[in-house]
Amino acid sequence: MKTTPSSILSGLVNDVATPYLILEMEFASGTIRLTNLGFNVTVGGLLYLADGGLTELSPPQLSSVLDREVYRIKLVDFANEYKSTFENNALGTPVTVSLGLEGNYTDLDIVYKGRIDATSIETNPEEGTKEAIIECSSPFGALDRTTDRRTDRKTQKQIDSTDTCFDNIYANADEIALRWGK
């Protein structure tokens, strides 16, 4: 069950509440942290940039049907910073979006936690815009997804360097010869 911090609940009840969002994407090349505030903010000792190009966070719509709603993120990308990140296997990258109230930078409510499902770059020469589009899957989006996993020593060491379960898998295996035909 999701628990929202009591400071956020009480702050939202007040007459004036200024919510903000922070976005964290953990790419292999490094973690990108952005905020929709008009200024940089430090939360939990981590710096979230206001000028990172974050233009839109559109959460999935609530529905009573189990379907694949997406969490869509738009970023300005005139310098191709995000394009090069997308080309280095961005699919499956963990994404976390948290909500806070301005003035309180310690209590956050995680509103989305998932993985990148698709990326694209949209250029509109008429409007002079170039945006990096990130689509994150809903929790139900991964139900039918399959992943390839090799069962050999090298792959297992990448997952856990101390695990030895596949070290001797071929040690006692004899060569198999099948006779075919008469």
Asked if pLDDT for residue 28 goes beyond 90, the answer is: no
Radius of gyration of the chain (CA): 22
pLDDT, residue 65, reads 54
pLDDT band at 142 (very low <50, low <70, confident <90, very high): low
Per-residue pLDDT averaged across 168-174, rounded? 63
Torsions phi, psi for 39 (to 5 deg): -145, 155
Residue 24, pLDDT above cutoff 90 = yes
- H helical segments located in 17-132: 81-87
Closest CA relative to residue 57, chosen from 123, 130, 136, 175: 136
Query: Within the chain, where are the H helices?
Result: 6-13, 81-87, 153-159
* pTM, two decimal places: 0.66
Give residue 47's pLDDT.
Answer: 93
Asked whether residue 23 carries a pLDDT value surpassing 60, the answer given is yes
Quick one: three-class SS letters along 104-126? EEEEEEEEEEEEEEEEEEEEECC
Is it the case that residue 120 has pLDDT exceeding 90? Answer: no
What the block records as the tokens of 158 is 């990448």
